[in-house]
Structure 1
Amino acid sequence: MKYLMIVFVCAALLSGCKGELIDSVTKNELKAVKPQEGTISVKINDDYMLGNIDYSHSPLVVDPNAYSSNEIQRGDLVYFQYPPNRFQSAEKKSVLRVVALSGEKIRMKKGQVYLDGQRLNTFYGKDLYNDLDRLQREIKKKNLDDNEIENIKNRIRIVENDNVDEITVPENTIYLVGDNRAGALDSRQIGPIPISNVIGKVMGRLEE
């Protein structure tokens, strides 16, 4: 019986609890790093990654050679160039997070990411800036004025309308999403991004 219990627990961990896909490796932090030979320093001027961290606050260190010998991983932060799209006329570069890889099925419901039918249970599996559970707790607080209540209601509506029908990520593309979903121009609007548009991997913020 003890052996069977161990096997059951191991199987649950491998498959993810209650249909969940867990990423316990990727950390929600931006380390200070020194530039190395071959790396570049970039500055982004948007709030697509505004969550617990403001990625536009300081220059970022990007390694253009990171994927020459390594595969892109879910959770990676990549510096990339947008393909032509109807939302902007000029070519633009920015930073977004890899959420789904080629061949995976992705859908979103109320801001929550599901991959191959499993809930992505990690900090970037939902909107960091507009966390639905937190907002629903906040709106129940006493002594909120009318403006605060309306602001929270608007943010709740944004998350509840953040739905994406399931698609399969095509070969040689990745699905990129901003940690700040409400403010991001990402794969939800323009579709998966060609891997060839990835310039490099964000290694951290430039150490001062």
Structure 2
Amino acid sequence: MLVVAFNLVFGVVRPFVAEPMRVPSKSMAPTLQPKDRMLTNKLAYDLTNPDRGDLVVFKGVEKKGKGERLVKRVVGLPGDVVHVDRGVLKVNGEPQNEPYLSKDDRGGGEGRDGARRKAPPGVNSFGPMFVPEDHVFVLGDNRANSHDSRYFGPVPTENLIGEPSLRFWPLNRLGTP
């Protein structure tokens, strides 16, 4: 019975249904923290495409990190034009509501000490960039510390693995991301 269960989990569930993942960096903070562990729903995009605002897990597209599992937020869909203007994300010219960003990630602002902060390059401005067919444009929630589509371009939809469905570690953060 144990052998059958083992074969089901590692022969069917992990490759086709759900796979654990450890968040490798702080690029998605505050939504996901480094070393958070979560399950990736690998069936999420078998019948549908991601929507703007979805978190996606995908295989890296750069030679250096090809095949590496990354997690980012979809901000642009095929046919969209993505642009960051003075810290404000615009899609097809329309400013986007991004409640998951901290004030520091919205292009600068004041720090906790009251001093004016200058946002890092690439946070205050970017683009415009057209998202081609069968691609999505992804950004990290922690824009100042995220290597994302601003650097490696739109992600082919064939690279999408699934969506984060359940954070299971640490226990005090148990739940959906």
Quickly name the TM-score band, shorter chain normalised.
0.7 to 0.9
| Residue of structure 1 in register with 2:19 after alignment | 40
| CA–CA separation in structure 2 for the residues paired with 1:170 and 1:195 | 10
Q: Structure 1 length normalisation: TM-score?
A: 0.65
| Residue of structure 2 in register with 1:143 after alignment | none
Q: Is the 8 A contact 1:79 1:96 kept in 2?
A: yes
Q: Is the 8 A contact 1:77 1:98 kept in 2?
A: yes
Among candidates 138, 159, 167, match of residue 197 of structure 1? 159
Q: Is the 8 A contact 1:105 1:169 kept in 2?
A: yes
The structure that is helix-richer by fraction is 1
| Residue of structure 1 in register with 2:130 after alignment | 168
Among candidates 99, 105, 118, match of residue 94 of structure 2? 118
1:54 aligns with 2:32: yes
Counterpart residue type for residue 79 of structure 1: V
Q: Which runs of 5+ in 1 are unaligned?
A: 1-36, 141-148
Structure 1 residue 172, shift from structure 2 partner: 0.3
> What is the SS of the residue equivalent to 2:120?
helix
> What is the SS of the residue equivalent to 2:109?
helix
Q: Is the 8 A contact 2:105 2:143 kept in 1?
A: no
Structure 1 residue 122, shift from structure 2 partner: 2.6
| Residue of structure 1 in register with 2:10 after alignment | none
Q: Which runs of 5+ in 2 are unaligned?
A: 1-12, 172-177
> What is the SS of the residue equivalent to 1:108?
strand
Q: Structure 2 length normalisation: TM-score?
A: 0.76
Among candidates 56, 59, 73, match of residue 97 of structure 1? 73
The structure that is strand-richer by fraction is 2
Counterpart residue type for residue 182 of structure 1: A
What is the correspondence of 1:1-208 to structure 2 with a 5 Å cutoff?
A: 38-51=17-30, 53-85=31-63, 88=64, 91-124=67-100, 127-128=101-102, 130-132=104-106, 135-136=109-110, 138=112, 140=114, 149=115, 153=117, 156-158=118-120, 162-206=124-168, 208=171
Q: Larger relative CO (CA 8 A, sep 6+): 1 or 2?
A: 1
Q: Is the 8 A contact 2:44 2:162 kept in 1?
A: yes
Structure 1 residue 203, shift from structure 2 partner: 1.1
Aligned residues: 155
Runs ≥4 residues deviating over 6 A: none
